[in-house]
Amino acid sequence: MLPFSLKVLFFKFFQLMLKWSTKILTFRTPELFSGPGSSLQLCEHIAGRTGVKNLLIVTDAMLVKIGLLKPMQDKLTELGVRWVVYDGVQPNPTIEQIETGLAMLKKEGCTAILAIGGGSSIDAAKVIAARARNPHKVVHMAGLMRVFFKPMPLYAVPTTAGTGSEVTIAAVVSDPSTTRKFAIMDPKLVPVGASLDGALMAGLPAPITAATGMDALTHAVEAYISRNHTPMTDAEALEATRLIMQNLPTAVHQGSNIEARQNMAVASFKAGVAFTTAGVGYVHAIAHNFGAYYHLPHGLANAIILPYVLDFSKPECTDRLAKLAEVSGLKTGGESALQLADKFIAHVRALNAEFGIPTRVDKLKASDIPQIAAKAASEAHWTYAVPRYMDKPEIERFVAQMLPA
């Protein structure tokens, strides 16, 4: 067996090739409509596209129940677009939910898809769109560049801020049969159009606002400390961090503040742009397993894990954490880079505490840790250019810190 330090050299070489490939493959971004009410502009844009007469709306039942879709449905009808709703998506969407949506798309003869919802609805819609034009199964799309043919046109209206899924190359799918949550990563998955409509988020409950906002922060931070960062991803990640630090507490405590909601929607998009090129890191690799094993909401899992990973990574990215502290408004003057890095990590912990996010995972079982560590290592090590590596026994000890007290 190769020593871990040698394996790290292979990981780093592979990630360098990934970085070069992102220089050649510039990722497409969706045609974007931004601002309160922009979801209706997106509907007008869809209606203006030739060939989009029969639309599958992919969403979750809760959003139908609270009437969030109604203005968009009315607008589409007014413009002569027929639509049908698939509302079977649930948080951490499964292959089965995707296949059920695909069956409806085929039965109804739909030619385009509109995802309305959080990352779960957008991700499910991405994979339905890919499956509609590709013969291979969802599990065979897992990993990098495994979607061979161009998916059906997909439009996205995020209702959380969030995952950034409206601009990313990723779709995250759960497979309960193997207790696995895996990512499909392919530039072909990026939606063709999207809206950032903060007004749709005014009713998002405070705990979900907090957790999804911490997911966006995690994207910005993991992209910023990634070794695969670029000047473009740095600019987007720093601006996302600044916006999140300025607006997330307001969005959580005064949900109907549309300015804060809109700024969070923009921040989430920017964080998505950053991580789709620079990648994420151990926070996501471990969080996906907490989602698969214990159905922990994705943002909540990230929020819990983020300060632990920052503590561990700090020796290899002190200056970058210091810069994040600066854009977060934490610099008072005269602090060293190390002091600023510590301030940033302490601030993330303080935000978690303010939002009632715990420091440990209640459902985490010691007996699951070896498997969780193995799956997190296999997700992280080839694709995520993390600043500091852990071998599997280290990941086990690391995850054990989050066992219930």
Ligand X SMILES: NC(=O)c1ccc[n+]([C@@H]2O[C@H](COP(=O)([O-])OP(=O)(O)OC[C@H]3O[C@@H](n4cnc5c(N)ncnc54)[C@H](O)[C@@H]3O)[C@@H](O)[C@H]2O)c1
CB of 285 to Fe ion, least distance (A): 11
**x/- track of binding to ligand X for residues 99-138 (CB under 6 A):** ------------------xxxxx-x---------------
Alpha carbon of 33 to those of 12, 44, 113, 263: distances in Å? Answer: 38, 11, 17, 14
Q: Does 166 bind Fe ion (CB under 5 A)?
A: no
Q: Which stretch binds ligand X (CB under 6 A): 200-208, 227-235, 319-327, 379-387?
A: 200-208
Q: Which stretch binds ligand X (CB under 6 A): 74-82, 104-112, 201-209, 251-259?
A: 201-209
Q: Does 163 bind ligand X (CB under 6 A)?
A: yes
**CB–CB of 313/388 below 8 Å?**
yes
CB of 72 to ligand X, least distance (A): 13
Single residue of 171, 243, 271, 273 touching ligand X by CB under 6 A: 171
R_g of the chain, CA atoms, integer Å: 20
Cα angle 359, 216, 72; round to 5: 125
**Cβ distance to ligand X smaller for residue 132 or 325:** 132
Q: Residue 199 binds which entry of Fe ion, ligand X, none, with Cβ cut-offs from 5 to 8 Å by kind?
A: none
**Cβ distance to Fe ion smaller for residue 88 or 297:** 297
Q: Residue 88 binds which entry of ligand X, Fe ion, none, with Cβ cut-offs from 5 to 8 Å by kind?
A: none
CB of 285 to ligand X, least distance (A): 12
Q: Does 226 bind ligand X (CB under 6 A)?
A: no
**CB–CB of 32/191 below 8 Å?**
no
Q: Residue 175 phi/psi, 5° resolution?
A: -120, 95
**CB–CB of 122/165 below 8 Å?**
yes
Q: Does 212 bind ligand X (CB under 6 A)?
A: yes
> Whole-angstrom Cα distance, residue 325 to residue 344?
5
CB of 219 to ligand X, least distance (A): 7
**Cβ distance to ligand X smaller for residue 60 or 379:** 60
**Cβ distance to Fe ion smaller for residue 172 or 369:** 172
Q: Which stretch binds Fe ion (CB under 5 A): 39-47, 139-147, 214-222, 237-245?
A: 214-222
Q: Does 200 bind ligand X (CB under 6 A)?
A: yes
Closest residue by Cα to residue 236 from 15, 25, 29: 29
Which long-range CB contacts under 8 A does 343-346 form with residues at least 24 apart?
Answer: 344/310, 345/307, 345/310, 345/311, 345/314, 345/321
Single residue of 87, 123, 197, 215 touching Fe ion by CB under 5 A: 215
CB of 130 to ligand X, least distance (A): 13
Beta-sheet strand order (sheet of 82-86): 31-34, 193-196, 154-158, 112-117, 54-58, 82-86
> Whole-angstrom Cα distance, residue 389 to residue 383?
12
Closest residue by Cα to residue 380 from 371, 389, 370: 389
Q: Residue 204 phi/psi, 5° resolution?
A: -65, 120
Q: Does 208 bind ligand X (CB under 6 A)?
A: yes
- State which of positions 81-100 bind ligand X (CB under 6 A): 91-92
Q: Residue 121 binds which entry of Fe ion, ligand X, none, with Cβ cut-offs from 5 to 8 Å by kind?
A: ligand X
Q: Which residue has the tokens 């159009």?
A: 193
Alpha carbon of 253 to those of 96, 261, 291, 371: distances in Å? Answer: 36, 11, 26, 38
Residues written for the chain: 405
In the complex, which residues of this chain contact ligand X (CB under 6 A)? Answer: 60, 62-63, 66, 68, 91-92, 117-121, 123, 159-160, 162-165, 168, 170-172, 200-201, 203-204, 208, 212, 215, 298-299
Residues that bind Fe ion (CB under 5 A): 215
